[in-house]
Amino acid sequence: MRKLLTALSIAVLTVSTASSAEITNQEILQKLQELEAKLKKLEVENKRLRELLEEKGSTLIAARKKTKKLKVTGRVLFRFSQTADIDESGGKSIYGDPGNGFTVRKARVRFHGKLNDNVSYMIHLRADRGSQVELWDAYVKYSFDSIPLSIKMGQFKVPLSMSYLKSGTELWFPERPVAVNKIAPVWRDVGLEATWKVSRALKLSASVLNGEGWSSDKIYNSDKKYAYVFSADVTPVDNESLRWRVRVGYEVGTDAYSKLIYTKYDAVSVERRLLDVETRLDLRSFGLSLEGGFLYDNPQDAVDSSGSSVQLGDAKGYYLQADYALPSVKGLHLVGRYSWLDPNDDVDDKYDVDYTSLGFYYLINGWQAAIRSAYIFANERHGEEVDNDLFVTEFQLLF
Where are the domains positioned within the chain?
2-55, 71-398
- Other beta carbons within 10 angstroms of residue 179's beta carbon come to 28
pLDDT at 330: 95
pLDDT at 58: 54
Closest listed residue to residue 210, CA positions, set 199, 202, 201, 221:
221
Taking a C-beta distance cutoff of 8 angstroms, is the pair 305, 332 a contact? no
Taking a C-beta distance cutoff of 8 angstroms, is the pair 164, 156 a contact? no
Strands 269-283 and 300-303: antiparallel
Tens of pLDDT along 344-361?
999 999 999 999 999 999
pLDDT at 13 over 50: no
Q: Determine the average pLDDT of the residues in 320-332.
A: 97
Residue 25: pLDDT band (50, 70, 90) is confident
pLDDT at 358: 98
Can you tell me the distance from the alpha carbon of 213 to that of 270, in angstroms, rounded to the nearest whole number? Answer: 13
pLDDT at 258: 86
Left if phi > 0, otherwise alpha if psi is -120 to 50, otherwise beta: which for 70? beta
pLDDT at 251 over 90: yes
pLDDT at 140 over 70: yes
Q: What is the pTM of this model?
A: 0.81
Angle at 111 between CA 189 and CA 74, to 5 degrees: 95
Residue 220: pLDDT band (50, 70, 90) is confident
Higher pLDDT, 218 or 273: 273
pLDDT at 22: 61
Can you tell me the distance from the alpha carbon of 361 to that of 325, in angstroms, rounded to the nearest whole number? Answer: 10
Q: Determine the average pLDDT of the residues in 103-126.
A: 95
Mean pLDDT (the chain) is: 90
pLDDT over 90 percentage in the chain: 75
Tens of pLDDT along 146-176?
999 999 999 999 999 999 999 999 999 999 9
Tens of pLDDT along 369-389?
999 999 999 999 998 889 999
pLDDT at 12 over 50: no
> Per CATH, the architecture of 71-398 is what?
Beta Barrel (2.40)
pLDDT at 29: 79
Q: Determine the average pLDDT of the residues in 325-331.
A: 96
Residue 5: pLDDT band (50, 70, 90) is very low
Tens of pLDDT along 277-308?
999 999 999 999 999 999 999 999 999 999 99
